[in-house]
Amino acid sequence: MRTPPRVLTVAGSDSGGGAGIQADLKTMLALGTHGMSVLTAVTAQNSLGVQGAWELPAEAVRAQFRSVVDDIGVQAVKTGMLSSPELVETVAALLAGVSAPVVVDPVGVSKHGDALLAASALDAVRTKLLPTATLVTPNLDEVTQLTGVRVRDEDDLPHAAAAVLGFGPRWALIKGGHLEGDAVDLLTDGAEEHWLRAPRHDNRHTHGTGCTLASAVAARLALGDTIPEAVAAAKEYVTGAIAGGFRLGAGIGPVDHGWRMRN
């Protein structure tokens, strides 16, 4: 039996199953890869928000990473919630020794507006984590948090991308989902630009969108895609997942990670 490509997520847990480690592993499975995990934090979380968060010790994060990478190996890595300077620096040091592509989702706040990254960790993200990234995938709020650049319309996306690339990632995907009109993203390495557009679905149940997109890119890279190919495929997958997002609990439900299997 053929061993599927192996993808590692380094992120926090979402007890409601819509985002974080849970969303990452569902996405990786849906795209034909074997997902593995390094847990950085445990959250008490549901459709209404984050009720509590508990960070794991850096020693536990380091041990999980070495356990997986040294024995099983990885063909792509995705990072998510890294809440403190110590965790950011720990993970950045681990990633510096990995030859596989790294997709960094610089998680700042949850879908409900709950802070998931300490303000004191921002400098470590800029100077330690982003230089390890093959691709970084900030939304517009995260762009502002990291660079101070505010994107008001589509014309501002190249300026935002240049500011993010200034911290050292090879590629930046600036997600313009918060803008009006079609969902437009800009992928660039500073030399070439790829504009990705998708129709906007009238569905409020979009919990886990960022985690899902970054994990989908990592999965496609593990399958052998180039960065532009992986991002285009991930955009198509997450657009379908958003269209299938469903009600769960009393608040914002998750995207549908299994939409392809049901269609």
Catalytic residue among 208, 244, 245, 253: 208
The answer to whether the CB of 185 falls within 8 A of the CB of 174 is: yes
d(CA 230, CA 112): 28
Number of residues written out for the chain = 263
| 211 included as an active-site residue | yes
Burial string for 4-20 (b: 16+ CB within 10 Å, else e) reads: bbbbbbbbbbbebbbbb
Annotated catalytic residue, options 90, 188, 206, 212: 206
Residue of 78, 111, 175, 235 marked catalytic: 175
Query: Is 209 labeled as catalytic in the residue annotation?
Result: yes
The residue whose two tokens read 């993808």 is 7
Active-site residue (options: 35, 177, 210, 244): 210
- Cβ(154)–Cβ(129) under 8 Å? no
Among candidate residues 90, 209, 212, 239, the one labeled active-site is: 209
Active site residue 239: no
Closest among 142, 146, 115, 112 to 131, alpha carbons compared: 146
Structure-token pair, residue 90: 């720990």
Residue 251 a catalytic site member: no
* CA distance linking residue 122 with residue 240, whole number of Å: 32
Active site residues: 175, 206, 208-211
